[in-house]
Structures are given as C-alpha cells and as structure tokens.
Structure 1
Amino acid sequence: MPEVETTTQQSRTAKLGLPTLTTMVVGSMVGAGVFSLPSRFAQETGVAGALIAWAVAGTGMLMLAFVFQTLAVRRPDLDAGVYAYAKAGFGEYLGFFSAFGYWASACVGNVTYWVLIMSTVGAVAPALGDGDTVLAMVLSSVGLWLFFWLISRGVKEAAAVNRVVTIAKVVPILVFVVLALFCFEPGVFADNWGGADYAGSLFQQVKGTMLATVFVFLGVEGASVYSRHARRREDVGRATVLGFLSVFAVFASVTIVSYGLMPMGEIAELRQPSMAEVLEHAVGDWGQVFVSVGLIVSVLGAYLAWTLMAAEVLFVAAKDDDMPRFLKRSTPADVPVPALVLTTALSQLVLVVTYFSDDAFDFALNLTSALTLIPFLLAAGFALRISAAGERRRATELIVAALATLYTAFLVYAAGLKYLLVSLIVYAPATVLFVMARREQGRQLFGPRELVILAVSVAGAVIGVVALVQGWISL
C-alpha cells in the first residue's frame, strides 16, 4: 500500500464522537489489571488498607482526569496530550522523553496482556505455564503480529472494533461483582479487615498497592492521546471523565468484594488471573471458565486500544519534528505504519525479556506503571504552570492541578528506586532517536539544559545496569 506524507493528513483523519472516545478510554483501562486486582491487593493489605488505597488512587486519578479535561479545552492546539503537554511546558527534550516513555509503557503493557492470556489458558494447558514458557512466548508473538495486521487495515475500523469489544468485556466483570455480592460472607470480610498479618505500617501497605492502581488506571488519558481524531474538541475532556468514573467504581468493587469470599492469605497465593480463582471458590468451576473467557475478550480489546494509542504518540511526535521523519509517514487509510511496526517490535523484544524474569506478569505490570509516571508528572506540572499564570487563572483549576502534581510525585516515590533505575535504562538509549531528529533538521543536538537532563538520564541508566549485574536489583 503506498505511503503518503502527512501534509494531507487533516483532510482524511477519521473523526470520532463522544461515545467512541469514551469507549476508547474505558477500553484502555479495562484490560489485564482488573483481573489481577484481588491477589495484588491481598499481597499488600487488608480491607482497611484497600479502602484507603482506592480513596487515594481514585482522588489522585480523578484530579489527573480533570487535568486532561482542562488542558483539552485550554490548549486545543496540542494533539497527543501527554507528550504535547510535556513539550509545551518543559521543552523539547523532556517532551521527547515523555513521548518515548508513554510509548514504551504502552508496549510493555501490551506484553502483560499476552502473558495473562497465556497464564489463563495455562490453567488447562500446562505447557503454557504462567505465561512464561517458550510455547507461550511463541504464541504471544503470533498474536502480536496478527493484531499488527488488523490495525494496519485502518484506524477507523479498529476503533469500531474496540467499541464493540469494550461493551462485551465489561459485562463479565459486572457479573463477577454481582455474584460475589450474593456469595459474600460477612465473617470472612471482617477477618480480612486489618492488615495485622503484614509487615509494615498501614501507610507502607497502601504504598505497596500504588503501582497496581496506576496500572489499572492507565488509559485515563486515552481520549487526549487520540484528540486529533475527535469530532468536537470538548468531547475529549468529557470522554476522559466519563470513562474514569465508570471504571473506578468497577475496579474498587472487584477488589473489596473479593475480601468477602476468601481469607486474604489465600487470595494472595492465587495464580493470575486471581479474579477467576476467587469466583471459582465462590460458585464452582464454571466461575473460573466464565471469568477466563471474559478476560481474554477484555485483554484483546485493551491490547487493540493501547496499540492504537502507542503508534499515535510516535506519529504525532514525528509530525512535530521530535522523532525521526520516517515515523510521520502514514497510509491513505490513516495508519502510521512505521510507528506501528516500531510499537509491535518493542513489544516483541519485551516479551522475550520477560521470559528471563522471576515473575513475568508482575515485572511487566510494574515496569509499565513506572514508565508512565514521568509523562503523567510532566502533564500535571504543565497544567499547574498554566493554571497559575495568565489572566485566566482559576482557583479550582489551580487546586486540581496542584493535587494531580502531588499525586503523581507520590507515585514516583511509591514506585521505588528499583523501577526508577530500570525505567532510566529504557529512557536513556532512546536519546538516539532524538539525535536522529535533530540531525535531520540540521539543528544543534543539545542545549545547556538538555545536556544536564542527558547526563542525569545516562548516569541513572548506568547505575541501573550496574545494579542488575551486581544483583542489587533483579527483574
């Protein structure tokens, strides 16, 4: 299929309405994470800690959703939100890092989907193990490239598929919550209230759940990432908030009702997807099958949405000359094929790396969350800057932006040094793409401030590599 330059892109860009944008947000968030929540939370805390964790995460992410809503209206000239906001607020190099980090997190997140699918099927096909065997890796690789073919047929068609899949995958999760309420045992729930069995304070227990909550909420920015396709600009912000509120209630419910079905020590030991194991305990074998089928539909839909968003970020960054120009080519069907190829290739690489990790699913999940934190922090920081300056200063916007910034900064702290260093190992080499773009434009490679950022990122990456080699941290 012949490629065309993006000078005629605007005329053929597929336009999406509020319902489709909202389902893209919901489809992005409702994926692998929700099916792992019971075990992930039970490993860290009891009911009290879970309630506090969801209150913190829900409030923080709602502030972030409001930030994306505000920025969509205040800066309608900025496409592919997360990346564009970082660039506008903090310069081209940090904007590049934000684009690359967000893209890389999407690629790593896509790997969690295939690992969880293989782990789910592994319950009846032992050769797939927990999604970390050679056979599982080969089958996942086939899936990666099959989806590449589907998306290459056209963005509009893929978005339509996502809308249908989003509806289909939410139903099993809602059924899980209803069935869990019918089987709910108040005595078990009461026994699971405290976190006395866990080391550390309640604060430490809540802190331990933060990466899991970040992972399940990734996608809240989905509408802003795809903003150039919105039929009306205000729909971007509305879709963000509507999508967030819809899934927040579902995620918190899945976690809390699980504490009323099994002792938290047993939930913590369940294999993933733990939601299927919890329902099997409550209603029998058919419960596991029901959730497992829903999981596969859910994860495939989320994979589609995330691949679309990842390629879109690279494409828009290349249009703005912050990525090499080969990434800004697209087909007449509005598909940025070079960006899509690079996205699928990185997912393939990470899939191979997870084979050598101690826990493929948890490693990919935590790394996905960690890579997203810097882009989120920069977007919130940009909102704080524009809310605090100019004639249009509004107290409400300023408070929301400040809370979102504090929350994302806390998440960086909660992620811990290990994942910060591993993130820098991913970030630092990406500078090669930045250098390629600057050379294509005949520009100076780095300014004084950019050299400082480069030095910090390279130093962190070197420390991270040494830490891995010496065994101070492990995958």
Structure 2
Amino acid sequence: MDNKLGFGALTAFVIGSMIGAGVFSLPQNMAAVASPAAVIIGWTITGVGMIFLAMSFQVLSLLKPNINSGVFGYAQAGFGDFVGFCSAWGYWLSAMLANVSYLVIVFSTLGMFFDKPGHIIFGMGNTWQSIVGASVLLWLVYASVRRGVQTAATINTITTVAKLIPLVLFIFCTLVAFKWHTFTFDFTGLEFGPQHDLLSQVKGTMLITVWVFIGVEGAVIVSSRARNRRDIGRATILGLLTALIIYVFVTLLSMGVISTPELAKFHNPSMALVLEHILGPWGSIIIGCGLLVSVSGAFLSWTVLATEAPLLAAQNNMFPKSYAKENSAGTSIKALNLTIICIQISLFAVIYAGGTYNSLLIIASEMILVPYFLVAAYTLKLAIKNKNRGRLLFIGLGSTIYGLWLLYASGLSHLLLASLLYLPGLYFFIKAKKELNQPSFVGKERIFVVVLILLSLFAIYMVATGHIVLES
C-alpha cells in the first residue's frame, strides 16, 4: 500500500487541519474582545506574521531535507535535544487539546438544535450526554487512524471539500446582507471601556487568530510521507492563503450584519446564528451541518498530527523508543493510544471542571506558541550562521518578531500555565535518555530545566492564591 501523499492531499491536510471548529465561532470570539478597527489590525498582523511563518516552513523544508520531524525537528537541530523535546511536547499537547475542543463544540452545536429551556441535553458540550457521545466519536476515529495515514488523508480530503461549501455560502450571504452603518457602529470599541484601548483589543485577538491558524504546519509534520518535498512548502502557502481569506471575510462581514456588541453575546457556533438572522432557521441548520462535517475532518487530521508527534520525536531520540514502532499501516499504536487515552481523560475532566470550548481554545493556542517561535528562531539562526543577508534573513527576522509578539500578546498568566503543562513531559524525555545511556540534561539544558520548574512552582502558587483564573 502506497503511504505517500501528493500535493492535493498535503494541501487538503493543511486546510483541513486549520479550518475546523474555530472558524464557526470566529464572529462571537472576535466581537467579544475587539472592535472592527482592532479586528482589522489583528488580522493584518496575523496574516503577515503567519505568511512569514509559512515561508519559514517552506525554506526549511528545502534547506534541511534530512529533517523529517518538522516543527520540533527544527527546534532540535537548532537548539538541542531538550528544546526539541519541549517543542514536540508542546505541539502534542496543543494537538491533543485541540481534539478535545472539537468534540466539545460538536455537542455544543447539537445542543443548539435539541436543547430546550428547562431541558438541557448537550448544553455547552460539557454534559454527561455530550461526553458519552464524544467518547463514541473518539474511538471511531481511533479505529480509522489505526488503518494508516493514507486512509485518514483520503477521508480528510473529502471532508475538506465538503466543509468549504457552507463557508462559501456564508460569505456570499453576509456580503449581500452587509450594512456599512452596522459595521462602523462603535468602530473603535468604546463599548469595551477606557481600560481596553485599541492596543489591548488587538492583543486580545491574538490567541484567537493563532488558534484558527494552528495546523499551518500540517504538511511539514507529515513531510516524511510526501511524494515530493517541494510540495510541502507549496501546500503550506496555498493552504494558509485559502484559510486567511475565509477567516477575514467571515469575521468582518459578520460585523456588518450584526453589530459588534450584539455579536459578542451570541452562543457558539455564532456563524449559525448570523446566517439564521439572514436566511431564517435554515441558516443555522446549514452551518450546523457544515460544522459537524468540518470538525469531523479536522478531528481526524489532528488525531493524525497528534499521533505523529511522539512517533517522530521517538525516531529522533526525544521520546522512548517504543513510540517509534509502527504497525503495517504505518501508525504508531503506542503514540495513538497515548493521544486517545489523554483525550478521553480530558473529556471526563471537562465535566468536572466545567470546561468550555473557549477555555480549551486558550490552552491549546498557548501551547503552540513556543514550537512556532522556535521554528522562526531556527530560520534566523541559519541566516546568521550562513551569513545570508537576503531572503532567508528577511524571513527569519519577520517570523521571529511575530513569534515574540505572540508570546507578549498572550500575557504572563497564560505563559505561566503553559509552563506548568510542560512539566509532566520531563518523564518521557528522561526515560528516552536513559534508554540511550545518556545524561538527561547537558550544558545549558540544566538551566532550562531549573527555570521551567521554578516557573511551574510559581504558576501553582498563582493558581492556588487565585491570582490566575482560567477563562471559560
């Protein structure tokens, strides 16, 4: 069986990974934190920054064809095993939590259709009925991924095409219904109060915009399965531009149909309610069905990406060797089991912690920031090392500045929570090094570990004293 992926499959993988649940909640998510003016600025910064990041992936895939572990392979090559492992662990956690959020939003959507006042079945996707349904869907996807990446990629290509149909219809309908006076109502966000100036609003959009672009590296993660390495960069750029156009239109056109303060109060998936405002009840049905198809495809893509992370890390001596073993279909069963079991545990935690799609969005977005920054930093490091003062330096500088901006915009409290989630991963790294009869940490890595532990202890203190409260 041919497990290699062509340009079309790689592009569908990028689009399918990025366009999942996030786009269907974008109108409310953005309206809740920013005015139309701030949203325009936020998308401009994100669009330019993500193009730089995508170009980093593109040039690295050509300059370093020997690195087949993508995001964390570049971190390992540039900054050592421990930094590479942290990138792999952060990426895996982000992918795993993204899948939890997809399952939550699926059943939140069903709640929009079937829940009645006084008779809540699915709620916000965090009732016991929702978790049972999500668990069934989870193990069906498990069975699909066990059959191999090629099978998952074929299903993903079909769902990617299917999900674009309701999105194009939504853009057309909101374009027709767009009213300029509605769009310019409270254009700069006076509704948010003086403590939320334009810069604060722009910062507030950053984790949301990063969230909907997570997956831009999809082709890079499965690069070892590409038929042609040049297809990796081309698929990444094409997928990014397709998603960017859709996101900008969905967000800004919605603000011209429903005023921003009203839009901020909508239940998610808010796209359904916007289209319902235009077309009547059929609008929410169209978007609801589109979301279910979209999330199913994205969930499949992200299960593959989450499974590939421990597999590739193990192949590069950053995870225990057992995670590198593949079945006849090319799937690491141990990596898949780890991912699925952790998703299942997280689903149970959602019930008891009262977690929602928005709270999962924040954590998953935060965990991906360090891996993205390290890719940018490695591009810059290569440019400096090779004394390349042309295109490579330009791309490296642009993507690194964007990575630093994201870390700043995300806020200290979120970074502290992220450091806490990196801590359990040390077990896997230490075990991997013991298997190789190598010291766990060498040189500057010891300093990194001490800093990580201190940040984690500080995060625990901040959470325990109520100084940090996870948003929901």
Q: TM-score, normalised by structure 1?
A: 0.95
Find the aligned partners of 2:350 and 2:411 in 1 and give their Cα distance: 20
Match of 2:103 among 105, 108, 114: 114
* 1:430 counterpart residue number: 425
Tell me if the contact between 1:357 and 1:363 (Cα under 8 Å) persists in the aligned partners.
no
Find the aligned partners of 2:250 and 2:47 in 1 and give their Cα distance: 14
* 1:46 counterpart residue number: 35
Amino acid at match of 2:201: Q
2:362 maps to 1:366: yes
* 1:274 counterpart residue number: 270
Offset of residue 386 of structure 1? 0.5
Gaps of at least 5 residues in structure 2 are: 116-120
Question: 2:113 is paired with a residue of what secondary structure?
Answer: coil
Q: What do the CA deviations read for 1:120-162 (whole angstroms, capped 9, x no partner)?
A: 0001233110111122122212211111111101221111111
Tell me if the contact between 1:354 and 1:363 (Cα under 8 Å) persists in the aligned partners.
no
Provide the aligned C-alpha RMSD in A: 1.3
Tell me if the contact between 2:188 and 2:198 (Cα under 8 Å) persists in the aligned partners.
no
Offset of residue 345 of structure 1? 1.4
Question: 2:309 is paired with a residue of what secondary structure?
Answer: helix
Offset of residue 380 of structure 1? 0.5
2:349 maps to 1:347: no
Tell me if the contact between 2:166 and 2:287 (Cα under 8 Å) persists in the aligned partners.
yes
2:371 maps to 1:382: no
Match of 1:175 among 154, 158, 169: 169
Find the aligned partners of 1:192 and 1:82 in 2 and give their Cα distance: 40
Q: What do the CA deviations read for 1:193-213 (whole angstroms, capped 9, x no partner)?
A: 221111321111110000000
* 2:47 counterpart residue number: 58
Match of 1:27 among 11, 16, 33: 16
Tell me if the contact between 1:13 and 1:334 (Cα under 8 Å) persists in the aligned partners.
no
Find the aligned partners of 1:117 and 1:243 in 2 and give their Cα distance: 24
* 1:473 counterpart residue number: 468
Q: TM-score, normalised by structure 2?
A: 0.96
Question: 1:295 is paired with a residue of what secondary structure?
Answer: helix
Match of 1:217 among 213, 217, 223: 213
* Count of paired positions: 463
Find the aligned partners of 1:339 and 1:13 in 2 and give their Cα distance: 22
Question: 1:332 is paired with a residue of what secondary structure?
Answer: coil
Amino acid at match of 1:76: P
Match of 2:88 among 86, 89, 99: 99
Question: 1:305 is paired with a residue of what secondary structure?
Answer: helix
Offset of residue 43 of structure 1? 0.8
Q: Percent identity?
A: 38
2:59 maps to 1:70: yes
Find the aligned partners of 1:344 and 1:261 in 2 and give their Cα distance: 40
Amino acid at match of 2:97: V
2:234 maps to 1:235: no
Find the aligned partners of 2:384 and 2:189 in 1 and give their Cα distance: 41
Match of 2:204 among 205, 208, 223: 208
Find the aligned partners of 1:43 and 1:356 in 2 and give their Cα distance: 26
* 1:6 counterpart residue number: none
* 1:324 counterpart residue number: 320
Q: What do the CA deviations read for 1:231-266 (whole angstroms, capped 9, x no partner)?
A: 011111111001101110000000000011111111
Moved more, 182-191 or 310-319: 182-191
Find the aligned partners of 1:243 and 1:394 in 2 and give their Cα distance: 28
Amino acid at match of 2:205: T
Tell me if the contact between 2:148 and 2:330 (Cα under 8 Å) persists in the aligned partners.
yes
Moved more, 353-362 or 143-152: 353-362
Find the aligned partners of 1:193 and 1:276 in 2 and give their Cα distance: 24
Alignment of 1:130-209 (within 5 A): 130-199=124-193, 200-209=196-205
Find the aligned partners of 2:278 and 2:101 in 1 and give their Cα distance: 26
Amino acid at match of 2:262: E
Find the aligned partners of 2:321 and 2:51 in 1 and give their Cα distance: 36
Find the aligned partners of 1:381 and 1:437 in 2 and give their Cα distance: 25
Find the aligned partners of 2:114 and 2:464 in 1 and give their Cα distance: 35
Match of 1:440 among 431, 435, 438: 435
Moved more, 179-188 or 200-209: 179-188
* 1:409 counterpart residue number: 404
Find the aligned partners of 2:267 and 2:225 in 1 and give their Cα distance: 40
Find the aligned partners of 1:324 and 1:139 in 2 and give their Cα distance: 33
* 2:118 counterpart residue number: none
Tell me if the contact between 1:192 and 1:259 (Cα under 8 Å) persists in the aligned partners.
no
Find the aligned partners of 1:13 and 1:418 in 2 and give their Cα distance: 46
Detail structure 1 runs of 4+ shifted over 6 Å in the superposition: none
Amino acid at match of 1:411: L
Find the aligned partners of 2:143 and 2:250 in 1 and give their Cα distance: 34
- Residues 1:91 and 1:107: Cα distance change in structure 2 (over 3 Å): same
Tell me if the contact between 1:354 and 1:364 (Cα under 8 Å) persists in the aligned partners.
no
Find the aligned partners of 2:162 and 2:299 in 1 and give their Cα distance: 15
Offset of residue 399 of structure 1? 1.2
Q: What do the CA deviations read for 1:451-475 (whole angstroms, capped 9, x no partner)?
A: 1111111111112222222222123
Q: What do the CA deviations read for 1:348-376 (whole angstroms, capped 9, x no partner)?
A: 22223333445511110011110000000
Gaps of at least 5 residues in structure 1 are: 1-11
Find the aligned partners of 2:192 and 2:355 in 1 and give their Cα distance: 21
* 1:15 counterpart residue number: 4
* 1:453 counterpart residue number: 448
